[in-house]
């Protein structure tokens, strides 16, 4: 397994032998920005200007250290960097920058990062304006009473319209943007003003160094050299190396092995005082032993009331993951266990499918999260996996009055026992240039959306829709990007469960149901979905020596049907002395290819069919 | 199969053609300045190398294929035949086949080839229809083809010719008529090939550009079935997917391939299969003519690779070849061991009517042969 670069060895002697900075000289902040609006570039500039890393150490976008995060320009884990800044007033300040994920799936991580700060920089692309994701994160920051400094980035671009974007920030978010700082993170223009604003406009933390220790567990991860590393924000008291600490929620005690700060290299310090952000290690065995949002205190002198904490993150999207080669099952299990070590929001449990054999039912925070896990399994662990269609959690109310949660359409009870089904609904916020509005409204209506709001700010529209999550999980985001030519942005939050006229649709290939292709679908959509899936499968399943009927059915009723005609002639015309080698190589290739096929009765279904059959091109 | 019982044949590849046919993906090159003496010497030297590897055995067959070996000089053909006689010696009544184009120029040399020892001619007629021949890019017309067939049947003890079917727009009636006309020539062996679009050919590019489309597999199957009916009615039933013969008139050389016997291949791009130290070896000769000549002259051997095949590879090759024959293959203990649990698939395929088993003999049924590529994948993959 390749290790994220963040887990670097201790290289230098402590930079802060006697830590505990005075409160008035500490500033803790996050940067809120939409993907590509320049958050990472600005972070790089700030780190460079304050000398956090030498040029040699300076890597582009140090905060986004995981390979995938770098590629997609997103951040998943909370990373921090502690910087020393000598301000215009002659004082030296400690700036703690806490990075936040920028994607809809990781809203939860955003909220906990923000809880460790007193302020935030709101970075908006001066040509693009406010996006849905920015909006969601800013509201979160406002909810936890952060001071927000608007920053207009990419001011050097010819398309920049700072005045229009300032007006938008005021109209849409309701923030005073008259003091917005105009910068170009790329060229470095205005970044010094940002540093001054952090010191002058953001409040210092509050806290009592003499009170019992009270610290927020912000995040934790597994480091191969240090073991479990816990990111903490000290609220009151002092965290020292060697101290006995207690985690109030987890009800566990540990002796602190090491206390340190990230510069962004892990650098040990003797102690962390109120307002400071740093890490601790304490021979904690597993990441699962640490609860994000927990309160850490002293064992001998515990604090009175714990911090409010966070609700644990709950997976909302589920899918099956199966090894392409059944022999890889154990490897897949190990790989998942390793990923889970650093990602408590990723859930998995064993699943058996008649079509796909042994695998796992996995839970994710969202589709991007799913995609990241899938890619990591393939890239870092070299596994070939089949992913089944994403599903949400349905509530199945049975006629006996009981309710069960359904994570997998294949587990749907017999319909005679079912009284009704409920499905999760979300509140979706979409921001788009108004020329794509028509297409987006149509998309939302097609997905059973209920419009709540439609407002304009300049030439941009903000749409709020209530939508069933099951209409969103599969390809809504792709479709939204496609109908808006990439300009629309999207964010959502879970609302509630609502009763829906939902049915389980099965796909039968050659008269046999293929469990991995079953979906729960709204009755009004069943026929068109069924027809689309049958047509797609007809393209995806190669012709066989016999004809293959493909049917979509609800209960015993067939609602759509296609037929793959039988091969009539399939034989090499000329095969002599030299052709046998070619023929053999072809058969050897077919043997390899067969590993990527799933045998279903007499029919071989290519693994790609399991995911492609559910994509809707229309 | 032990060494002693296996038959041995020699294949000689002549890589040159006067023109390259748009459907052909063989190892062929446009005729250029050909130094017949150099070719003759190189082919003989290569044969000497293989004689040393096979040890003393008799040849059941010698086959000149190509390319267009009827363009090769008599000196080359004669030299190779004499060398085979000298190096191995022929069994009684050997088959010595030469592939020829049915042009008038080739026809004028038939007697000379016969005198050199060729006793079977295989003519690349492809069609007797002028329009079809023009489409196939051939440099003969229907009348020349008829003259060549007539001359071949009178000049050689045995002769065969090829036809290509499933041309675009070919109807079932037209194919039936063409077959009947072909059978009326009195020929005792026919090779009937479906036109297939091969990678890297001019036809592949034409089809990709949408110039024309080959018939779908439904029509191709109907045309194949017509070929089975018409040849069987004339007493030339199929003994292999694309080959039809009166009893005893089968190509003994090609049977060596399909029965997975031993064969030495010389000339550019030729392949060989031999047994050595109890193992099956696959030989591939350098494909490019100049490379081939240079390698033989330098090293005394033109092989690009000599590879020992494992049991699985042998099984795949034996079944791929043997199931093409109406007679099928005899599955020996080694085959069954290599087949392992896949042997159970044969029972299922037998129930589907695609294969038939008779003791140790496994054969594809008529239906199974028409779908042989898919059938092989179901048995082996």
Which range of residues forms the domain containing residue B16? 8-256
Residues B20 and B163 occupy one common structural domain = yes
Q: What percent of chain A has pLDDT over 70?
A: 89
Q: At what angle do helices B36-54 and B289-299 cross, to 10 degrees?
A: 60
pLDDT greater than 70 at residue A311 = no
**What span, in angstroms and rounded, lies between the C-alpha atoms of A407 and A409?**
7
Q: How far is CA B163 from CA A176, A607, B181, B244, in A?
A: 86, 41, 12, 11
CB neighbour burial string for A42-63, b if at least 16 within 10 angstroms, e if fewer = bbbbbbbebebbeeeeeeebbb
Higher pLDDT, A81 or B262: B262
The CATH number covering residue B342 comes to: 1.10.10
Instruction: Count how many pairs of residues, chain A against chain B, have C-beta atoms within 8 Å.
Output: 102
For the record, the structure tokens of B92 come out as 């009684």
Q: At what angle do helices A132-143 and A107-114 cross, to 10 degrees?
A: 40
Residues B81 and B18 occupy one common structural domain = yes
The helix or strand, by DSSP H or E, that contains position A457, with its residue range, turns out to be strand A450-457
pLDDT recorded at residue A11: 36
Please list, in sequence order, all residues whose beta carbon lies within 8 angstroms of the beta carbon of residue B247, skipping any fewer than 6 positions away.
none
pLDDT greater than 50 at residue A314 = yes
- pLDDT band, residue A16 (cuts 50/70/90): very low
pLDDT recorded at residue A369: 83
pLDDT greater than 50 at residue A70 = no
User: In 3D, which of B170, B289, B180 has the Cα closest to residue B229?
Assistant: B180
For the record, the structure tokens of B64 come out as 């000149």
Residues B55 and B133 occupy one common structural domain = yes
Residue B292 covered by a domain = no
Taking the CA of residue B172 and the nearest CA in chain A, the distance in Å comes to 15
pLDDT greater than 80 at residue B24 = yes
pLDDT greater than 70 at residue A59 = no
Cβ–Cβ under 8 Å, residues A418 and A463: no
pLDDT recorded at residue A5: 35
- pLDDT band, residue A220 (cuts 50/70/90): confident
For the record, the structure tokens of A328 come out as 């890889």
| Bridge partners (DSSP) listed for residue B307 | B282
Residue B279 covered by a domain = no
CB contact (8 A) between residue B316 and residue A593: no
- pLDDT band, residue A1 (cuts 50/70/90): very low
Pairing of strands A557-564, B189-194: unpaired
Determine the average pLDDT of the residues in B124-128: 97
CB contact (8 A) between residue A583 and residue B317: yes
Residue B294 covered by a domain = no
CB contact (8 A) between residue B317 and residue A584: yes
CB contact (8 A) between residue B196 and residue A573: yes
pLDDT greater than 90 at residue A308 = no
CB neighbour burial string for A561-575, b if at least 16 within 10 angstroms, e if fewer = ebebeebbbbbbbbb
Give B293-337 pLDDT, tens digit per residue: 999 999 999 999 999 999 999 999 999 999 999 999 999 999 999
Pairing of strands B158-165, B189-194: parallel
Residues B240 and B334 occupy one common structural domain = no
Residues B90 and B175 occupy one common structural domain = yes
**What span, in angstroms and rounded, lies between the C-alpha atoms of A103 and A110?**
9
Determine the average pLDDT of the residues in B226-237: 97
A154 is an annotated ligand-binding site residue: yes
**What span, in angstroms and rounded, lies between the C-alpha atoms of A156 and A188?**
10
Instruction: Give me the phi and psi of A168, to 5 degrees please.
Output: -65, -40
Residue B354 covered by a domain = yes
User: In 3D, which of A320, A382, A325 has the Cα closest to residue A598?
Assistant: A325
pLDDT greater than 60 at residue A269 = yes
Pairing of strands B329-330, B361-364: antiparallel
Q: Is A227 exposed, middle or buried (0-12, 13-18, 19+ CB in 10 A)?
A: middle
Complex-level ipTM: 0.93
Give B273-284 pLDDT, tens digit per residue: 999 888 999 999
Mean pLDDT is lowest, of A224-233, B147-156, B181-190, B216-225, for A224-233
Domains of chain A: 23-201 (3.40.50.300), 214-298 (2.40.30.10), 317-388 (3.30.70.870), 395-500 (3.30.70.240), 504-616 (3.30.70.2570)
pLDDT greater than 60 at residue A315 = yes
| Size of chain B, expressed as the number of residues it contains | 381
- pLDDT band, residue A615 (cuts 50/70/90): low
Q: What percent of chain A has pLDDT over 90?
A: 47
With tokens 């307002």, the residue in question is A275
**What span, in angstroms and rounded, lies between the C-alpha atoms of B211 and A44?**
58
Determine the average pLDDT of the residues in B40-63: 97
- pLDDT band, residue A78 (cuts 50/70/90): low
With tokens 């079935």, the residue in question is B225
Interface test with B, best of A541, A548, A586, A587 (most B CBs within 10 A): A587
Among B65, B217, B270, select the one facing A569 at the smallest CB separation: B217
**What span, in angstroms and rounded, lies between the C-alpha atoms of A392 and A366?**
10
Residue B261 covered by a domain = no
For B301, which DSSP code?
A: -
Residue B299 covered by a domain = no
Residue B262 covered by a domain = no
User: In 3D, which of A296, A113, A294, A271 has the Cα closest to residue A214?
Assistant: A296
Determine the average pLDDT of the residues in A15-44: 78
CB contact (8 A) between residue B313 and residue A575: no
pLDDT recorded at residue B302: 96
**What span, in angstroms and rounded, lies between the C-alpha atoms of A167 and A149?**
15
Mean pLDDT of chain B: 95
Residues from chain A contacting residue B224 (CB–CB below 8 Å): 569
Residues from chain B contacting residue A580 (CB–CB below 8 Å): 257, 271, 273, 317, 320-321
pLDDT greater than 60 at residue A68 = no
Residues from A in contact with B at Cβ < 8 Å? 544-546, 567-578, 580-581, 583-584, 587-588, 590-591, 593-594
**What span, in angstroms and rounded, lies between the C-alpha atoms of A117 and B194?**
76
Residues B231 and B319 occupy one common structural domain = no
- pLDDT band, residue A107 (cuts 50/70/90): low
**What span, in angstroms and rounded, lies between the C-alpha atoms of B246 and B186?**
11
pLDDT recorded at residue A57: 54
A345 is an annotated ligand-binding site residue: no
Mean pLDDT of chain A: 85
pLDDT greater than 90 at residue A306 = no
- pLDDT band, residue A434 (cuts 50/70/90): confident
**What span, in angstroms and rounded, lies between the C-alpha atoms of A472 and B345?**
44
| Size of chain A, expressed as the number of residues it contains | 618
| pTM for the full predicted model | 0.69
pLDDT greater than 50 at residue A319 = yes
With tokens 């700082």, the residue in question is A181
Taking the CA of residue B146 and the nearest CA in chain A, the distance in Å comes to 24
Give A473-485 pLDDT, tens digit per residue: 877 887 888 898 8
Instruction: Give me the phi and psi of A181, to 5 degrees please.
Output: -90, 130
pLDDT recorded at residue A407: 86
3-state secondary structure of B46: helix
Residues B249 and B358 occupy one common structural domain = no
Residues B182 and B71 occupy one common structural domain = yes
Residues B194 and B336 occupy one common structural domain = no
Of B223, B256, B289, the one marking the end of a domain is B256
Domains contained in chain B, number: 2
Alpha helices in A172-272 (DSSP H): 191-201
pLDDT greater than 90 at residue B90 = yes
CB contact (8 A) between residue A590 and residue B381: yes
DSSP string, B198-243: -TTSHHHHHHHTTS--PPPHHHHHHHHHHHHHHHHHTT--EEETTE
Alpha helices in A386-434 (DSSP H): none
Residue B30 covered by a domain = yes
pLDDT recorded at residue B247: 97
**What span, in angstroms and rounded, lies between the C-alpha atoms of A198 and A28?**
9
Residue of chain A minimizing CA distance to B316: A584
Taking the CA of residue B111 and the nearest CA in chain A, the distance in Å comes to 27
pLDDT recorded at residue A298: 93
Taking the CA of residue A534 and the nearest CA in chain B, the distance in Å comes to 23
pLDDT recorded at residue B154: 96
- pLDDT band, residue A76 (cuts 50/70/90): very low
Of B213, B234, B256, the one marking the end of a domain is B256
Residues B210 and B316 occupy one common structural domain = no
The CATH number covering residue B185 comes to: 3.20.20.70
pLDDT recorded at residue A263: 79
Interface test with B, best of A542, A566, A584 (most B CBs within 10 A): A584
Mean pLDDT is lowest, of A285-294, A411-420, B18-27, B246-255, for A285-294
Q: What angle do CA A130, A471, A320 make, to 5 degrees?
A: 110
Residues B238 and B364 occupy one common structural domain = no
**What span, in angstroms and rounded, lies between the C-alpha atoms of A170 and A138?**
12
pLDDT recorded at residue B1: 41
Among A39-43, A290-294, B263-267, name the most confident range.
Answer: B263-267
Q: Residue B357: left if φ>0, alpha if ψ -120 to 50, beta else—which one?
A: beta
Taking the CA of residue A325 and the nearest CA in chain B, the distance in Å comes to 15
Residues B163 and B35 occupy one common structural domain = yes
Of B256, B276, B294, the one marking the end of a domain is B256
With tokens 């911090």, the residue in question is A307
Radius of gyration of chain A (CA): 27
**What span, in angstroms and rounded, lies between the C-alpha atoms of A171 and A163?**
12
Among A65-74, A366-375, A526-535, name the most confident range.
Answer: A526-535
Give A332-360 pLDDT, tens digit per residue: 999 998 888 777 788 899 988 877 889 99
Q: How far is CA B349 from CA A80, B368, B380, in A?
A: 64, 9, 12
């Amino acid at each position: 397994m390749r290790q994220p670069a963040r887990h670097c060895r201790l290289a230098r002697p402590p930079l802060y032998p006697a830590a505990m900075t005075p409160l008035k000289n500490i500033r803790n902040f996050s940067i809120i920005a939409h993907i590509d609006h320049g958050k990472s570039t600005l972070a790089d500039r700030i780190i460079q200007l304050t000398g956090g890393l030498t040029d040699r150490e300076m890597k582009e976008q140090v905060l986004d250290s995981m390979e995938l995060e770098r590629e997609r320009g997103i951040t998943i884990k909370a990373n921090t960097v502690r910087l020393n800044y000598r301000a215009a007033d002659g004082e030296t300040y400690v700036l703690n920058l806490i990075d936040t994920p920028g994607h809809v799936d990781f809203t939860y991580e955003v909220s906990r990062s923000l809880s460790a700060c007193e302020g935030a920089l709101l970075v908006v692309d001066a040509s693009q304006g406010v996006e849905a994701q920015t909006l969601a994160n800013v509201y979160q920051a406002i909810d936890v009473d952060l001071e927000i400094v608007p920053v207009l980035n990419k001011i050097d671009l010819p398309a920049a319209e700072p005045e229009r974007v300032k007006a938008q920030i005021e109209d849409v978010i309701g923030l005073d943007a008259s003091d917005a700082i105009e910068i170009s993170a790329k060229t470095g223009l205005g970044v010094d003003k940002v540093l001054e604003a952090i010191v002058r406009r953001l409040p210092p933390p509050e806290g009592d160094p003499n009170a019992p220790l009270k610290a927020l567990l912000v995040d934790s991860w597994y480091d191969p050299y240090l073991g479990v590393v816990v990111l903490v924000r000290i609220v009151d008291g002092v965290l020292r190396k060697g101290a006995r600490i207690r985690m109030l929620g987890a009800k566990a005690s540990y002796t602190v092995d090491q206390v340190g700060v990230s510069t962004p290299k892990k650098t040990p310090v003797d102690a962390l005082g109120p307002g400071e952000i740093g890490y601790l290690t304490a021979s904690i065995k597993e990441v699962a032993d640490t609860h994000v949002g927990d309160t850490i205190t002293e064992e001998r002198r515990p604090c009175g009331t714990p911090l409010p904490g966070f609700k644990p993150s709950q997976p909302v999207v589920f899918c099956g993951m199966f090894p392409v080669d059944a022999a890889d099952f154990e490897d897949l299990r190990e790989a998942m266990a390793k990923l889970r070590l650093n990602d408590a929001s990723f859930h998995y449990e064993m699943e058996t499918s008649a079509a796909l054999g042994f695998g796992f039912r996995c839970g994710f925070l969202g589709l991007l999260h799913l995609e990241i896990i899938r890619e990591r399994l393939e890239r870092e662990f070299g596994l070939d996996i089949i992913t089944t269609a994403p599903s949400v959690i349905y509530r199945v109310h049975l006629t006996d009055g009981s309710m069960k949660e359904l994570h997998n359409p294949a587990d749907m009870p017999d319909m005679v026992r079912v009284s009704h089904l409920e499905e999760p609904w979300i509140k979706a916020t979409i921001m788009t240039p108004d020329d794509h509005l028509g297409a987006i409204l149509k998309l939302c209506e097609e997905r059973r959306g209920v419009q709540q709001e439609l407002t304009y700010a300049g030439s941009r529209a903000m749409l709020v829709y209530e939508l069933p999550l099951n209409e969103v999980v599969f390809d809504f985001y792709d479709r939204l990007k496609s109908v808006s030519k990439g300009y629309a942005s999207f964010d959502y939050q879970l609302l509630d469960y609502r009763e829906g006229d939902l049915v389980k649709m099965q796909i039968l290939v050659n008269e046999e149901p293929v469990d991995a292709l079953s979906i729960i679908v709204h009755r009004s959509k069943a026929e068109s979905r069924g027809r689309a899936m049958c047509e797609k499968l007809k393209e995806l399943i190669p012709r066989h020596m016999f004809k293959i009927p493909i049917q979509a059915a609800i209960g015993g009723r067939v609602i759509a049907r296609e037929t793959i005609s039988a091969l009539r002639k399939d034989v090499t015309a000329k095969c002599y002395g030299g052709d046998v080698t070619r023929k053999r190589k072809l058969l050897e290739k077919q043997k390899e290819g067969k590993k990527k096929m799933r045998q279903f009765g007499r029919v071989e279904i290519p693994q790609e069919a399991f995911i492609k059959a559910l994509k809707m091109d229309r | 199969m032990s060494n002693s019982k296996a038959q041995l044949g020699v294949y000689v590849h002549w890589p040159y053609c006067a023109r390259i046919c748009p459907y052909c993906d063989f190892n062929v090159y446009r005729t250029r300045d050909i130094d017949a003496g150099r070719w003759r010497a190189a082919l003989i030297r290569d044969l000497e190398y293989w004689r040393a590897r096979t040890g003393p055995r008799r040849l059941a067959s010698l086959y000149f294929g190509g390319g267009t070996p009827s363009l090769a000089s008599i000196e080359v053909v004669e030299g190779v035949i004499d060398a085979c006689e000298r190096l191995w010696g022929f069994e009684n009544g050997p088959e010595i086949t030469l592939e020829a184009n049915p042009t008038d120029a080739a026809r004028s040399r038939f007697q000379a080839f016969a005198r050199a020892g060729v006793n079977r001619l295989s003519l690349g007629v492809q069609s007797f229809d002028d329009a079809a021949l023009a489409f196939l890019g051939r440099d003969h017309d229907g009348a020349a083809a008829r003259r060549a067939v007539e001359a071949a049947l009178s000049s050689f003890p045995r002769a065969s010719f090829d036809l290509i079917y499933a041309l675009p727009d070919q109807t079932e009636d037209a194919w039936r008529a063409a077959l009947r006309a072909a059978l009326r020539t009195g020929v005792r062996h026919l090779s009937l090939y479906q036109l297939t679009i091969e990678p890297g050919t001019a036809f592949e590019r034409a089809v990709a550009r949408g110039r024309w489309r080959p018939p779908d597999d439904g029509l191709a199957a109907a045309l194949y079935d017509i070929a089975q009916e018409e040849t069987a009615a004339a007493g030339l039933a199929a003994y292999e997917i694309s080959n039809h013969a009166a009893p005893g008139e089968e190509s003994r050389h090609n049977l060596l391939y399909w029965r997975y016997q031993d064969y030495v291949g010389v000339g550019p791009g030729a392949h060989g299969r031999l047994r050595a130290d109890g193992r099956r070896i696959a030989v591939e000769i350098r494909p490019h003519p100049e490379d081939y000549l240079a390698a033989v002259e330098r090293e005394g051997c033109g092989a690009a690779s000599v590879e020992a095949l494992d049991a699985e590879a042998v099984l795949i090759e034996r079944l791929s070849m043997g199931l093409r024959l109406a007679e099928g293959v005899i599955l020996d203990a080694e085959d069954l061991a290599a087949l392992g649990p896949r042997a159970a698939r044969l029972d299922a395929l037998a129930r589907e009517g695609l294969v038939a088993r008779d003791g140790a003999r496994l054969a594809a049924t008529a239906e199974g042969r028409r779908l042989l590529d898919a059938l092989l994948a179901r048995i082996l993959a």
